[in-house]
């Protein structure tokens, strides 16, 4: 295959805090090389949405653990139109609500939730590899726990200001300062939790996206993937 075609069975693992540009750049790289795309944050958000919908106290880890296998969460991995369905319902909009965003760190800190999500994520990765399609997977523990053997591992960063600006645009929130405060709070929770915290490892390539455009970051990811494929 040449640089224009498919990157056979490759796994590209991307971690980083909210607003570091993971979602748009991961999707862009997947489109550019016809790979599958998995947004693992959407899976934790889907689980959180279901718990809230069923009146579960998300700060009660035992209550969350007792129900962890109940929701059926199905991810569509086409980067042109990724989908997330819970018990057959399309929850793409619901999982971006303020309520879900405020509670997702608590739910994603529960070990039983992580065990189930990691199991499903590995199944999705294995299916994409079996089809020889390859996949871009983004989240907080992809390079460390879900796919540490991935041949391309990236840790995206950006200044807190740049991340808040991007998130505010995404959620059409004009209050950038409040968004920044929420991001900092969530990063702190996601990085300090006992189970699979967001952590940068020495073998992941760090990419500071603060001064880069979306296309520039996508080009860098694609270049790394093509280099691995040509080895």
What end-to-end distance do the CA atoms of the chain give, in Å? 12
Q: How far apart are CA 222 and CA 215, in angstroms?
A: 10
Bridge partners of residue 85, in order along the sequence: 74, 90
Instruction: Please provide residue 81's backbone torsions phi and psi, each rounded to the nearest 5 degrees.
Output: -155, 70
Bridge partners of residue 92, in order along the sequence: none
Q: How far is the CB of 231 from ligand DC (least distance, A)?
A: 27
Element containing residue 189 per DSSP (H, E): helix 176-192
Q: What 3-state class would DSSP assign to 186? A: helix
Question: Between residues 150 and 229, which has the closer beta carbon with respect to ligand DC?
Answer: 150
Question: Between residues 6 and 92, which has the closer beta carbon with respect to ligand DC?
Answer: 92
Residues 57, 62, 64, 67, CA torsion sign: negative
Question: Between residues 41 and 79, which has the closer beta carbon with respect to ligand DC?
Answer: 41
Instruction: Please provide residue 230's backbone torsions phi and psi, each rounded to the nearest 5 degrees.
Output: -85, -5
Q: How far is the CB of 61 from ligand DC (least distance, A)?
A: 14
Question: Between residues 108 and 133, which has the closer beta carbon with respect to ligand DC?
Answer: 108
Residues making contact with ligand DC (CB under 6 A) = 18, 40-41, 44-45, 104-105, 108, 139-141, 186, 190
Q: How far is the CB of 71 from ligand DC (least distance, A)?
A: 15
Q: How far apart are CA 166 and CA 23, in angstroms?
A: 11
Residues 26, 108, 95, 66, CA torsion sign: positive
Q: How far is the CB of 217 from ligand DC (least distance, A)?
A: 16
Q: Give the position of tokens 């065990």.
A: 115
Q: How far is the CB of 230 from ligand DC (least distance, A)?
A: 29
Q: How far is the CB of 5 from ligand DC (least distance, A)?
A: 29
Q: How far apart are CA 32 and CA 30, in angstroms?
A: 5
Question: Between residues 153 and 229, which has the closer beta carbon with respect to ligand DC?
Answer: 153
Question: Between residues 105 and 179, which has the closer beta carbon with respect to ligand DC?
Answer: 105
């Amino acid at each position: 295959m040449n640089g224009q075609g498919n990157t056979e069975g490759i796994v590209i693992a991307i971690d980083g805090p909210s607003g570091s540009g993971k979602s748009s750049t991961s999707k862009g790289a997947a489109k550019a090389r016809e790979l599958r795309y998995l947004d693992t944050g959407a899976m934790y958000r889907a689980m959180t949405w279901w718990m809230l919908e069923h009146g579960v106290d998300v700060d009660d880890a035992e209550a969350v653990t007792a129900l962890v296998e109940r929701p059926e969460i199905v991810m569509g991995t086409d980067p042109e139109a990724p989908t997330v369905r819970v018990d057959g319902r399309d929850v793409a909009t619901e999982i971006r609500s303020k309520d879900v965003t405020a509670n997702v760190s608590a739910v994603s800190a529960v070990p039983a939730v992580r065990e189930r999500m990691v199991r499903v994520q590995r199944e999705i990765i294995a299916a994409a590899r079996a089809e020889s399609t390859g996949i871009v997977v983004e989240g907080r523990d992809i390079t460390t726990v879900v796919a540490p053997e991935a041949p391309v591992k990236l840790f995206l960063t950006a200044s807190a200001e740049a991340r808040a600006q991007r998130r505010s645009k995404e959620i059409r929130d004009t209050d950038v300062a409040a968004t920044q405060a929420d991001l900092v709070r969530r990063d702190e929770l996601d990085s300090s939790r006992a189970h699979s915290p967001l952590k940068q490892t020495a073998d992941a390539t760090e990419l500071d996206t603060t001064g880069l455009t979306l296309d520039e970051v996508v080009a860098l990811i694609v270049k790394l993937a093509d280099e691995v494929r040509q080895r």
